[in-house]
Structure 1
Amino acid sequence: MQLTPHFSLSEFTRSAKATALGLDNTPTPMAQTNLLRTAQMLERVRAQLGGHAVIVTSGYRGREVNQAVGGATSSDHQAGQAADIQVPGFGKPYDVAKALVPHLDALGIGQLAYESDGASQWVHVSTRVQSKPVNRVITIAVGRGTYLGIQHV
């Protein structure tokens, strides 16, 4: 099912972990509605970044899938409100995050996080606006801490 011109539902629900563990990763009707909004936000991100392809590396995660990948219990992924992305045609995830920060409101990004686990990096974008503005733009160095703004880690 195509959500928007460049994003399909299957891109958001694809999960190697779910497949390996035999877990169902079918979104709830509410999550599917949220995924449409998330895909629309990613269309705006794609346009902002010069039309370069946006690759969704993690989208919707049902509760069991989220738990299996070690996601936070309050993760926006579970509601269909978040995606982890890379845009190789534009640049490294750090460059993507820095380029998006000035345009959060226009793009409909409620939270932007540059994340790194040491081996790989990605950009987390969510349509849910954070209750604490300080958490809107952050850097997460998995296992090492969370920092305000977009930082080299």
Structure 2
Amino acid sequence: MKLTPHFTLAELTRSTTAERLRLDNTPPADVIRALQTTAEMLERIRDTLGAPVIVTSGYRSPEVNRAVGGATSSDHMAGQAADILAPSFGTPYLIASTLAPLVSTLRIEQLILEGVKGKQWVHVSTRRPAKVINRIITITDAGARAGIHALA
């Protein structure tokens, strides 16, 4: 099922962890509506970057979220977040630093540059965090910092 011209429901619900552990990762109807909004945000990001966006993690059922060690309040479980890469555009740092000044224009409610356990990606969400300081952050093994910062 196509959600937008470049993003499908299958793409936003694919999980290698779910496949490996044989966990159901089928979203309920209300989450599919949220995934539509997330896909629309991803289209705006794709247009801005002028490059294809790869979703490495979208919707996660509560069981899948637990299996990957996700936060208990993860926006992924509500279909409101995606972890992305855009290799033909550049590094996750370049993606996040390009998007950061445009979050309001692109209707990205949270932007996180993540560099954890040797992996790097950009997390985007359609849900604004309760604390404004958490809207644009960088998370590394050393912790979280406001703003987008170069990763080691």
- TM-score, with structure 1 as normaliser: 0.96
1:128 corresponds in structure 2 to 127
Three-state SS of the structure 2 residue aligned to 1:84 is: strand
User: Runs of at least 4 residues of structure 1 off by over 2 A?
Assistant: none
Gaps of 5+ in 2: none
2:143 corresponds in structure 1 to 145
After superposition, residues 52-63 of structure 1 pair within 5 angstroms as 52-63=51-62
2:5 corresponds in structure 1 to 5
**Letter of the 1:26 counterpart:** T
Three-state SS of the structure 2 residue aligned to 1:2 is: coil
Shift of 1:144: 2.1
Three-state SS of the structure 2 residue aligned to 1:6 is: coil
| Cα distance in 1 for residues equivalent to 2:96 and 2:42 | 13
- TM-score, with structure 2 as normaliser: 0.97
Shift of 1:46: 0.5
Gaps of 5+ in 1: none
Three-state SS of the structure 1 residue aligned to 2:76 is: helix
1:36 corresponds in structure 2 to 36
1:65 corresponds in structure 2 to 64
| Cα distance in 2 for residues equivalent to 1:152 and 1:146 | 13
1:89 corresponds in structure 2 to 88
Shift of 1:129: 1.0
Superposed CA RMSD in Å reads 0.8
| Cα distance in 2 for residues equivalent to 1:118 and 1:59 | 20
| Cα distance in 2 for residues equivalent to 1:116 and 1:27 | 27
Count matched residues.
Answer: 151
Q: Does 1:48 find its partner at 2:48? A: yes
| Cα distance in 1 for residues equivalent to 2:80 and 2:117 | 25
**Letter of the 1:11 counterpart:** E
Task: Name the % identity.
Answer: 57
2:76 corresponds in structure 1 to 77
